[in-house]
Amino acid sequence: MSSTRRAKEGSPLRQERYMSSPEFERGLKALPVAKRCEVLRDPRDRELIWWLQSKSQQEDGLADVTAELIRRNPHAPATASMRRFGLNPSHRYNADQVRAVRKEIGRDPQERIFRSLGRLDFPLRGECEDWDGYCSEEAHREKVREAAKFPESYLAADFLKHCATVATRNLANDLQELCLNPSVKLSDTAPWYFTGLRSALAALMKSEAEEHCARLVVTEIGRRVHGCLDRALKSRRIVVVNGVPRIGKTFAAQSWVQQNAGRARLVEVPTGNDDISFFRAIARGIGLGNFINYKATEIRERVEAVLFTGQLLLVLDEGKRLWPQRNLRYGYPSRIEWVMSLINHGAHICIITTPEFFAWQQRLEQTSCWASGQFTGRISRHEMLPKELSRADLEAVARSVLPEAGDVDISAVAAYASSSARYLAAIDDIAADARYIAESEGRDTVRRADIQRAMREGVIPSDRSLAAAIQATAPKRAKASLMPAQPPIMPPLNEPEGADEPAQTSARGVGAREGVELSTVRHGRAVRPAGDLVGA
């Protein structure tokens, strides 16, 4: 019998005893959510549920959604009758209106009008519970005297405060119930304390997607990647996005998935040939859990139960790892065959990869008996991305991470990036070094001198040193250099007048906003912490 990793109180301390604690669980599991969505006919409702499941996987979970809903809809915590009678806090509800609102509040078992202590919420003058013999006659007469002192009406502010308190306490749990319980209807009339919940959720989902889009710079690569992903949503076949490294295809896919969290999930294919790491990565990506103690077949069955529904687009990054990485003579592309089975069951698949993908395919065919006809027949679209970005796109990306820089500095950074084999990573490193220099001198704003120093003393020498190290250990066949044969064309790095002043932002700045994390560009749409920079 397998261990449950639980221990009785007072038993010797073992580090694993708390591993099953509910505090370690995060988010709604994808499998019950998929089952819940199967009974929803409206695709927009399914998208809302999957968006909530995605939000639940984040650090603050559904509590953050609750707080944001109340912040954006301060008058939403109210009953239907309260909306008819008016939500002005200074408005006074008469006795009949109070009774109507109390009936709606009483629909919640946890918010009964009559409490266990015998107190009536929002009591009106003369209202008192009937004497039931459990208290003395004198005590009942005292309650009658108190009832004569109750008000004849209440301010709307009293009910608004009550609804807001209930919403803060219960809404996160009710959203969880909404995502899991097939008997709960997704409508604007439930729960009683938050009128218009479905519309508020849809507006919040749309608003977050628009805000995310506004913070980013869309390059030509990004537009083409987004177009392929839009097509993959409507196709029951495989879409392949093919592009050389470091042009931003991965970041473009990530940004698109963030804007479509109710319809897609992004998973990086792990290295190696084993199945268990592959299915475990997908399980984590779609929100099924880690499955540390499960077998590969058990994880696969749960993953298939979610993806076979066709409710989510699965975006597989680093697609070349779908092919066997060793023992090609006896290798079998089990990962590719499984992807084909997903298509057979109506799933949506998009593969983000480099040109090595088809080289691995041909090599496997040459060294084994496997034929790729069925696989290539399931590819509905193959998009070959451009090998480089335009100067305008490079400048837009540079400006998004260095909004303080002027036109001359932006042009210099873009010129160097276009001539470096590291491409957009060079822009990111220049921005990161410039900010480090500014912070080390106690400043929050990057100046022109910081940018020039970051290029002159940091990025350019580092690239040359790395290129020399690679060339020194390279075999006879030529290796691509990280640095161009000739120095990149850029404005001189001499200190101009007024260098101590903060660099001025150009009037044609693109997409950069105050408060956005400025460190990394992984193109398509740009901005993420520099420490997370990984090969696209």
Determine the pLDDT at residue 141.
77
Average pLDDT, stretch 430-456?
A: 93
State the average pLDDT for the chain. Answer: 82
- For residues 283 and 289, give the distance between their C-alpha atoms in angstroms, rounded to a whole number: 6
For residue 53, the number of C-alpha atoms closer than 13 Å in the C-beta half-sphere is 33
Region of residue 238 (phi > 0: left; psi between -120 and 50: alpha; otherwise: beta):
beta
Phi then psi for 313, rounded to 5 degrees?
-85, 125
Region of residue 61 (phi > 0: left; psi between -120 and 50: alpha; otherwise: beta):
left
Q: CB neighbours of 342 closer than 8 A, spacing ≥ 6? A: 304, 307, 308, 314, 349
Determine the pLDDT at residue 297.
93
516 pLDDT more than 70:
no
pLDDT, one tens digit per residue, over 464-502 is: 888 888 888 777 655 444 444 444 444 444 444 444 444
- For residues 50 and 68, give the distance between their C-alpha atoms in angstroms, rounded to a whole number: 18
Q: Hey, is 156 helix, strand or coil?
A: helix
Q: From 1.10.760.10, 3.40.50.150, 1.10.10.10, 3.40.50.300, which CATH number describes the 215-384 domain?
A: 3.40.50.300
Alpha helix stretches (DSSP H) within 244-369: 249-259, 275-286, 296-307, 334-344, 356-367
Q: Residues 405, 451: contact at Cβ < 8 Å?
A: yes
pLDDT, one tens digit per residue, over 340-386 is: 999 999 999 999 999 999 999 988 888 888 888 999 999 999 999 99
Q: Residues 52, 40: contact at Cβ < 8 Å?
A: no
Place of tokens 């080289």: 359
Closest to 278 in 3D by CA, of 322, 214, 327, 225? 322
Q: Hey, is 368 helix, strand or coil?
A: coil
> Quick one: DSSP state of residue 226?
H
More confident residue, 54 or 529: 54
- For residues 284 and 279, give the distance between their C-alpha atoms in angstroms, rounded to a whole number: 9
Structure tokens at 294: 């499960």
Cα-trace Rg, the chain: 30
Q: How confident is the model at residue 430 (pLDDT cuts 50, 70, 90)?
A: very high
Phi then psi for 315, rounded to 5 degrees?
-100, 115
Work out the angle between the directed axes of helices 61-72 and 156-180 (0-180°, nearest 10): 140
- For residues 455 and 449, give the distance between their C-alpha atoms in angstroms, rounded to a whole number: 10
Determine the pLDDT at residue 195.
86
Q: What percent of the chain has pLDDT over 70?
A: 82
C-alpha dihedral (170, 175, 180, 186), degrees to nearest 10? 120
Cα 48 to Cα 58, 259, 311: the distances in Å are: 16, 13, 12
504 pLDDT more than 50:
no
Phi then psi for 314, rounded to 5 degrees?
-95, 115
- For residues 229 and 286, give the distance between their C-alpha atoms in angstroms, rounded to a whole number: 17
Q: Where are the domains of the chain?
A: 24-213, 215-384, 391-467+488-532
Strands 154-155 and 92-93: antiparallel
Q: CB neighbours of 365 closer than 8 A, spacing ≥ 6? A: 371, 372
Q: CB neighbours of 133 closer than 8 A, spacing ≥ 6? A: none
